[in-house]
Amino acid sequence: MKVLLRDTQSGLFYADADHWTGQYSEVRDFETPDLALEQVSSANLAGVEVIVHFENPAFDLPLTIHNAVR
């Protein structure tokens, strides 16, 4: 299991500050939703959701961010 950030418009995943990708092998694994939310806040990311990603993407669980912690 991995914890990822996905742009809700493009569907791309966060790899680093200047790189979004569609390749699971390149994404940053935040390991916990809390760490992913910290990145959202510290990088002032908007329009993203946390994805709990499993080996089979059919079981991915999207988590909507309603209010980012600042």
Q: Is residue 69 part of a domain?
A: no
Pairing mode, strands 2-7 and 48-53 = antiparallel
Structural domain contains residue 56: yes
Establish if 23 belongs to a structural domain: yes
Q: Is residue 18 part of a domain?
A: yes
In a domain, 16, yes or no: yes
Q: In the 8-state DSSP scheme, what is residue 22?
A: S
* Structural domain includes residue 70: no
Question: Is a pLDDT exceeding 80 seen at residue 65?
Answer: yes
Q: Domain total for the chain? A: 1
* Domain limits for position 39: 2-64
pTM assigned to the model: 0.90
Sorted by sequence, the CB contacts under 8 Å of residue 34 that are 6+ apart come out as none
Is pLDDT above 60 for 56? yes
